[in-house]
Amino acid sequence: MNYRRILILCFLMGGFAINAAAQDLVKGKQLYETRCLVCHQADGGGVPNMNAPLDGASNVVGTDIARLVRIIKKGYSERVALDGFYYGNAMTANPDLKDVDIANILSYIRTSWTNKASTITAAQVKAAGSKK
């Protein structure tokens, strides 16, 4: 193989990698729009006193991935203070979502609006899910 071929090959492989990552966020956004937007809103701002914001939320960009996975799978209505505020609505469970779906949603909400945290892989979701 000559150098030019190797260069082209590297270019193609890089393109695929970028494509795969971009698609995860597109899928995450689609799932967010069908499952989460009604409460958390398009801008991630939530609804005061009712639905917690995801934009700028310390837990959403934090490192407790197991908690985030559990909330998406099982729903959430613990009514504890989140960044100093309380929310009265109850979040619905999503027991049908696969690990890869949850990874795409988490990647989307952790990198959207003003959030700039790491993306999450399906393997991380699987590991977090088995921790409980």
Residues that bind ligand HEC (CB under 6 A): 35-36, 38-40, 51-52, 54, 57, 59-60, 68, 71-72, 76-79, 82, 87, 89, 91-92, 94, 105, 109
76/125 with CB nearer ligand HEC: 76
12/33 with CB nearer ligand HEC: 33
DSSP 80-126: --BTTB---S-BPP-TT--HHHHHHHHHHHHHSTT-------HHHHH
89/119 with CB nearer ligand HEC: 89
Q: How far is the CB of 130 from ligand HEC (least distance, A)?
A: 19
Handedness of CA 25, 50, 65, 115 (dihedral sign): positive
71/127 with CB nearer ligand HEC: 71
Burial class (CB in 10 A: 0-12, 13-18, 19+), 67: middle
Cα radius of gyration rounded to whole Å, the chain: 17
Q: How far is the CB of 99 from ligand HEC (least distance, A)?
A: 14
